[in-house]
């Protein structure tokens, strides 16, 4: 897997540090194959229509609905910014932001850490490592709803986990009746389900590191930890960046795990923003308010993603 930082490449080309030898000039540069300009639009039109129908129009509709009082079977009344003012004073929503933030803070570093550790482990000359990769990827391929039913049985008061703990003189732990433990279960199940995907991506990043570089660092006397922190991690940083961005976005959008394991409870201890949004829209039938929540969630994710894009220049190495 090769990662190229496009903005850097453009900059280098325009500043002259890289000679733009292959770049055609003038009108020919725009139309190297000839033909009218609209031909290009025809080629991208199917993609654009798909983008418009499935992404842009629903997003715009959601944005507009956020300024209304709308129900599925009733009408729609424009209410200005009332939904957004209500959000600021809605303890259930503010709690869901806090719960999701805790989830992101614990889940993302744990996910990246476990994925990286597993990828490094599978990079060693361990027997059957390809099979192990497949095995660790299986949870990511299995449906969450089916997994959740099993996890609920495992973690209930008299479930297998507590029976196991009691056999060694521990527990029982109130996994599903205490808010903190319930959130820990949701985070744990999420990690179990998703680390395999990141492990594969990071493994591909590790595989792309030239053995010559590692060999050179050995000759220079770099120890195991020096090699990891000064050679491996910088060289795999584009893959790390990619997985971190996607994991953060996914973490803010967490829904299925809480929905199928705890239903947001006990109390509202596992009520994520997405679950609250879903309940608002489809249980409370408040589509306008749910759309306002969706807009705020979109903004939160956009801010975090932009922050990561801005921060990458300090730690991501594309060389």
Partner 1 sequence: MKSGLKTLRGRGRVGASILVAGTLALGLAACSGGSDSSSGLSGDTLKMYTWIGGKPDKQQWSDYIAGGKHADPKVAVSFSGPPINDYYTKLPTVMKSSSAPCLVTFQNGRVNPYVQGLEPLDDLAKKNKLDLSAYSSAMLEQLSVDGKLYAIPFNAGPNVIFYNKKLFKDAGVAEPTSNWTVDDFISTAKATTKNGVYGFAIGQGSTPISTLMAADGHPYADKNGPKLDDPNFKNALQLLVDLANKYKVAKPLEAAAGGTFPDIDAFSTGQAAMSLEGLWDLQHEQQTLGKDNVGIAVIPSTSGKSKGFISGSGFGITKTCGDKQKAFQAVEAMTSKSGLEFVTKSQASVPARLDALDAWTTNVGSPTFAAVIKQMTFDATPSPVPSDQAQLDTLLTQYEVDAFSGKSTVAQVLQQVKAGLGQ
- By the criterion CB under 8 A, which residues form the site for partner 1? 38, 49, 52-53, 57, 71-74, 91-92, 148, 152, 156-158, 174, 176-179, 182, 259-268, 270-271, 279, 282-285
Nearer to partner 1, 64 or 209 (CB): 64
- Quick check: bond before 172 cis, omega within 30? yes
Q: In whole angstroms, how close is the CB of 73 to partner 1 at the nearest point?
A: 4
Contact 185, 175 (CB under 8 A): yes
Contact 148, 189 (CB under 8 A): yes
Nearer to partner 1, 237 or 280 (CB): 280
Q: In whole angstroms, how close is the CB of 170 to partner 1 at the nearest point?
A: 19
> Rounded to whole angstroms, how far apart are CA atoms 206 and 115?
12
Nearer to partner 1, 39 or 309 (CB): 39
Q: In whole angstroms, how close is the CB of 262 to partner 1 at the nearest point?
A: 4
Sign of the torsion formed by the C-alpha atoms of 273, 278, 279 and 284: positive
Nearer to partner 1, 115 or 262 (CB): 262
Q: In whole angstroms, how close is the CB of 161 to partner 1 at the nearest point?
A: 13
Nearer to partner 1, 74 or 143 (CB): 74
Q: In whole angstroms, how close is the CB of 71 to partner 1 at the nearest point?
A: 8
């Amino acid at each position: 897997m090769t990662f190229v930082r496009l903005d850097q490449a453009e900059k280098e080309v325009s500043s002259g540090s890289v000679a733009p030898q292959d770049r055609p000039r003038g009108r020919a540069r725009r139309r190297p194959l000839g033909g009218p300009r609209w031909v290009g639009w025809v080629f991208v039109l199917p993609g654009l229509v798909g983008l418009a129908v499935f992404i842009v129009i629903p997003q715009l509709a959601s944005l507009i609905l956020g300024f209304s009082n709308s129900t599925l079977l009733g009408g729609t009344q424009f209410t200005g910014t009332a939904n957004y003012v209500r959000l600021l004073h809605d303890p259930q929503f503010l709690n869901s932001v806090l719960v999701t933030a805790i989830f992101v803070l614990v889940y993302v570093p744990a996910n990246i850490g476990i994925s990286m550790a597993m990828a490094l482990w599978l990079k060693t000359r361990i027997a059957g490592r390809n099979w192990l990769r497949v095995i660790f990827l299986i949870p990511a391929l299995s449906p969450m709803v089916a997994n959740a039913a099993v996890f609920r049985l495992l973690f209930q008061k008299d479930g297998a986990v507590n029976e196991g703990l009691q056999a060694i003189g521990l527990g029982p732990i109130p996994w599903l009746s205490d808010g903190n433990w319930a959130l820990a279960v949701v985070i744990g199940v999420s990690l179990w389900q998703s680390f395999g995907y990141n492990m594969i991506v990071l493994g591909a990043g590790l595989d792309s590191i030239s053995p010559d570089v590692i060999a050179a660092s050995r000759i220079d006397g770099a120890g195991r930890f020096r090699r990891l922190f000064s050679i491996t991690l910088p060289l795999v940083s584009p893959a790390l960046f990619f997985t971190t961005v996607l994991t953060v976005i996914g973490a803010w959008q967490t829904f299925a795990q809480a929905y199928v394991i705890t239903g947001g409870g006990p109390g509202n201890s596992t009520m994520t923003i997405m679950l609250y949004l879903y309940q608002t829209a489809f249980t409370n039938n408040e589509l306008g308010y749910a759309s306002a929540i969706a807009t705020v969630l979109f903004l939160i994710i956009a801010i975090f993603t932009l922050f990561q894009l801005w921060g990458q220049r300090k730690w991501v190495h594309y060389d």
